[in-house]
Every structure is written in C-alpha cells, then in structure tokens.
Chains A and B, each alone.
Chain A
C-alpha cells in the first residue's frame, strides 16, 4: 500500500507549496502585474502624446493651408490687376493709334478737300472766264457785259447746289 499512503508528507507539501506561492508572488507575479500596468500606462501616455502631436500637426496644416490660400488669392489678384493694366495699356495705345490714324486721315481728307476746293475754284474761275468769253462770242449784242456776268454767276451758283 506504499503507493496510496497518505501521511505527514501531505502537510509538508502543503506548507512548502504555500511558501513557494508566497515567494513566487513576491518575486514574479507582483512585478509582472505592475509591469503590465506600467506598460499600459506608458502606452496610454504615448498614445495621448501622439494624439496631441497629431492635433498640433493638423492645426499647423490648416494654418499653412490658410496661408497658402491667401497667398494664392493675392497672387491671383496681382495677376488679374496686371492683366487689366496691360489690357488698359494696350487699349489706350490702340485708342491713341486709332485717334492718330483718324487725325492723319482727316488731315489728309481736309488737304484733299482744300486742294479740291482750290482746283475747283480755279476751274470755276477759269470756266467762268471761258464760259463768259464763249457766251460773249455767242451772245454778242443781246446783253451788256454786266448783265451777262450776273446771269452766268447765278446759273453757276444754282448748279453748285
């Protein structure tokens, strides 16, 4: 019956087991649990820190975006202004050129007109002379010199209109 005998050994084993349990609890389990707790806290702290950093980065990003948008806007406005100015300059130059051209054209036209007028007057006087002389040759004797001239002038003026 040696295999199934229960004796004082059982009590000794219980005592030594409780001693082992106490020692291991002090040396292994308590550090283990505190380590788990510490790790958890550290991870939580790091997570919070990361969250804060992320938030800061987000804020900075937004600021940068805002700045960028502003700069963009300003550049846009500057460009549009410059474009408008350029347009204006071109427009004004065109205007000026057109006015100049118009002026030159007018001057030329006036010149032509004047010359025409001159030529016309010359022709008129010559033609009047001619016509008078011709008419005098034809109408010799029917009218006197003065009446003939007046009549002819009247005639010419009427035609002139």
Chain B
C-alpha cells in the first residue's frame, strides 16, 4: 500500500516536470515564433543537403546521418546494458528485451516455420523494428534541435541553402522521414526476400513463380514484386513526414501553446510504434511469401 502511494508520488513528480518542460518550450516558441506562416511551413520540404549539385555520390544529408548514429548509439547502449546482466532469471531490462524479442519471434515463426530461414528473418525484422521504433520515438515526441533550411536561387541559377538550427521549435529530425533510409531498408528486404526465395525453392522454381498462374501474367508479377519495396518504403516515409508536417503546421497555428505534447505523443508514440511494427511485419511477410 505504501509502496503504491510512493510510486504514484514519483509518477506525479515526473508528470509535473514533463508539463513544466512543455509549458516552458511552448512559451519560448510563442515568444520567438516567426510572424509569417510561410517562413515556417514553406520550408517543410527542404532538407539539409551538403555537397555539389548533381553528383549523387558526394551529396549527403548530415541530419539523417547524425540522427541515425544517435539512434544506433542508443540501441547499442541498451543492448550492452542488457548483455552485461544476461542471466537465466531475467532482470527487468532483460525481461523487457526478451518479451519484445519473443513477440517478434512468435510472428516470424508463425509465418516461416522453417528454422533455417526464421532465424535470419528474425534478426533482420527485429533490428528494423528496434531501429525504426527508437528513431520514431526520439524524433517523434522529444522536442529538440531541428534544422530549418530555406532555399534561395542565386544569379547563376544555383541553389543556395541557408541552414538555421532551431531549438525546441520541432522535434529532432527523424532518420525515417528521409527516403534514403526507408528506400535502402525496403530494397534490402526485397533483395533478401528474393535471395531466400531462390535459396529455398531453387532458381527454376523461383523463375517459374513469375509465370503463375498463366504466362501472360509475367509483367504483372514483375511489377507486383517491384511495387513491394516502393510501397514498403513510401508508407513509412509518408507517415513520418506527413505526421511531422502536420504537427508543425498545427503547432504553428495554435502558437505552440497547448497542442504539441498531445500531437507529439500521438504521432511519435502511437503512430511511430505502429509504423515500426508494420514495417517489420511487412518485411517478415514479404520474406515469408518468397520462402514458402
């Protein structure tokens, strides 16, 4: 009984601190908000890209790379914490990690019964889930440093980006709201599923699979296969980017006074976790459809 009240007190204190931070952030934002909405919303589609124009292999998105490294660092830190105290009788952290892994492993096993393919599929899907979930979470509901980029075309016709770092205006930039990340992962899942398909069925049966049910369907089947990575990546990209733009616009309209915590909670926690789950589940489903 006394323990419960203690915990409730702790939760209350945490909640008060959380509210205080959000109100402070709202006040700061309301004070320094640009007067013209176009200044904020007109720049939502711009990305911070460094490198010469038109040379793809020299251009880079620093925000995405840095955030992705941060996410990876957080994940490895957590994994090390769990790894250090791994034992037969799980501690709280280990129980959390294990229940998460068991949840994903059950899904993998129910769709891919073959242990030979279930293990690597689990490794890929679990890593995807963890990466996307953490990246959606830290860039979904934690107000932090965001990058505001305004593009200007100068006299010689070249695009000049003015990069401005903004504190507490928006959440951190999400690696998953960059198509580079999503398309890479989706194409990786696509290639792995095709590789597993060839390995499981043999190359003849794999090629024959494109002629099912009648040979006329060959182009349709190829398009259907190629549409998988496109829809897979664009789903995550659209959800996270669209959510971010929506949150930014709505937050601007209410001058950051009361909506952002709830919007960040919805788009960050709920939508972000669901999209992470959907991305990894679809990866499992694509691999399973090729293996079986």
Contact = CB atoms under 8 A, between A and B. Distances in A.
Direct contact between A and B judged by beta carbons closer than 8 A: yes
A53 interface: no
A19 to B, nearest CB: 7
B46 A2 contact: yes
A38 interface: yes
A59 interface: no
A4 B237 CA distance: 10
Please report whether the interface of chain A is mostly helix, strand, loop or mixed according to DSSP: helix
A120 interface: no
Nearest to A33: B119
Interface residues on B, range: 35 or more
B139 to A, nearest CB: 15
A24 B82 contact: no
B98 interface: yes
Nearest to A14: B184
B217 interface: no
A13 B68 contact: yes
Contacts of B183: 6, 10
Contacts of A7: 49, 51, 56-61, 180
B79 A9 contact: no
A8 B188 contact: no
Contact of A20 (B46, B51, B61, B72): B72
A9 B98 contact: no
| Central interface residue in A4, A5, A9, A10, by most chain B CB within 10 Å | A9
Interface stretch (B122-130, B199-207, B266-274): B122-130
B241 A8 contact: no
A25 B123 contact: yes
Interface in B70-88: 72, 75-76, 79-80, 82-83, 86, 88
Interface in A1-46: 2-14, 16-17, 19-21, 23-25, 27-29, 31-33, 35, 38-39, 42
B280 to A, nearest CB: 13
A8 B60 contact: yes
B68 A21 contact: no
Contacts of B180: 5-7, 9-10, 13
Given A7-B60, A10-B183, A24-B75, A32 B83 contact: no
A35 B98 contact: yes
Given A2-B45, A17-B127, A23 B76 contact: yes
Interface of B: 45-47, 49, 51, 56-61, 64-65, 68-69, 72, 75-76, 79-80, 82-83, 86, 88, 97-98, 101, 119, 122-124, 126-127, 130-131, 149, 151, 175, 178-181, 183-185, 188, 241
